[in-house]
Structure formats: structure tokens, C-alpha cells
Amino acid sequence: MAAIFRRRVPAAVPALDPYDIAHLAGGPRRVAETALTGLRDRGLVRVIGSRVRAVPAGEEAPAAPAGHPVEEALLALCPRGRGLAAVLAGVAKDPVTEGIGHRLVSYGLLTRRHGLTRAGHRHLEAARREGTLPAYVFDGPAALPDARFRATVTAATLPSGLGKALLRMANALDRDADSHGHGDSDGGSGGGHSCGGGGGGDY
């Protein structure tokens, strides 16, 4: 009797959120980077040197609270400050992030090895053309406009020696720009903040 092979039909693809798109664009790490950048922009975390700290409730009035499980996972990892590399790695491995990947596989947008399918490529390019999401969702740290923050996030993805060298170069360039009056006006480039490690100010 001939064997019968059943081909699994992917589930219908619902509307994708920014973290779904980030996973398609760069995998679990891009999900973590996207959460970090969004929370920082909304005042819910501070990046101080090579560390990140969740802003305690009542310390400031953020633009909007965490509204996605990935964001909640990141905040839970750094209530009192923690190394940025460890936080990004923790979010990338969190069950919430893994769940995003599993759903994208079930939708037929990723292969079981988490490579993009043709449908995944189409959805990713459609989201890029739509132009409603920040460039860093698609392109990662390279698309971040703040040079010092860009260097910090990039350094957190490198082996420690290379990462530290990149941070030293970024801080040196930033100090040189400040001395000539051309530094980034991000409202917090000065020193004076510390979080148990890593040089540099709050940005």
C-alpha cells in the first residue's frame, strides 16, 4: 500500500507586530535590540556606559508604559542595572521571543531552522515599503541615529575585547566632538551617572 504524505498547510498570517517584523529581519537578537531602543526612546530604560537600567515607577513620567511581553521581559532583567550584553542575550533567549519564532514558523514565514521563506521575504519587504516602522527594526544598530548609543549596542554584540575597544573609540570621538561644541544634543551626554560599571554618561 502506497504511503500517504500529508503536507502541513501553514496557518493564515494575521497582522504582524513590530517584534514579528524584527524577528523576520534579524532573528531573536533583533527582537531584543528593538525592545531596548523602543524602551529607551520612551524613557523606560536608561543606558549608562555599557549597562542598562529600568527606570523605577514614579522616578520619571515615561511617554507610555511597556505594552508588549518582550518589553516586559527586558525590564524584568535589569531592575537595578545590568550589563547590556547580558540583557540583550537574555531577551533573545526568553520564551516570549522563542514564541515569536515558533509562530512565524507556523505561519510559513520562517523555516524550521528559522530561515526566511519566500512568504517571509514578501512580508518583510512589504513592511519596509509601508514605512511605518523605525529603520532599526529592519537594519539593527546600524540605523540608530545616536552615534554613541549605536556604538554601545553594536559593542554588546561583539566579543568583549572588540566591544570594549569600540566603546573606547566612541567615547573618545564623543568627547572630542563635545570639546568642539558639536556633540549630540541628546539631553544626557554629560557624565556623573554610574551604574556599577562601564564609563560614559546616560544616553
pLDDT along the chain (203 residues), means of 10: 51 89 97 96 91 82 74 94 94 97 96 94 97 97 94 79 55 54 39 38 57
SS3 of residue 42 by DSSP: coil
Does 159 lie in the same domain as 100?
no
Q: Let me know if residue 13 belongs to a domain.
A: no
Does 154 lie in the same domain as 136?
no
Does 72 lie in the same domain as 159?
no
Do residues 157 and 29 make contact, with C-beta atoms less than 8 angstroms apart?
yes
SS3 of residue 165 by DSSP: helix
For 90-158, give the DSSP string: HHHHSHHHHHHHHHHHHTTSB-TTS-B-HHHHHHHHHHHHHT-S-HHHHHGGGG-S-HHHHHHHHHTTS
Does 160 lie in the same domain as 75?
no
Q: Let me know if residue 196 belongs to a domain.
A: no
At residue 190, the pLDDT reads 34
Does 162 lie in the same domain as 133?
no
Does 103 lie in the same domain as 124?
yes
Does 155 lie in the same domain as 61?
no
Q: Let me know if residue 124 belongs to a domain.
A: yes
Look up the domain containing 152 and give its range: 147-179
Does 151 lie in the same domain as 133?
no
At residue 203, the pLDDT reads 56
At residue 9, the pLDDT reads 54
At residue 84, the pLDDT reads 94
What pTM was computed for the model?
0.76
Does 54 lie in the same domain as 26?
yes
Does 134 lie in the same domain as 111?
yes
Task: Indicate the number of domains in the chain.
Answer: 2
Q: Let me know if residue 40 belongs to a domain.
A: yes
Does 103 lie in the same domain as 44?
yes
At residue 127, the pLDDT reads 97
At residue 31, the pLDDT reads 98
Does 131 lie in the same domain as 166?
no
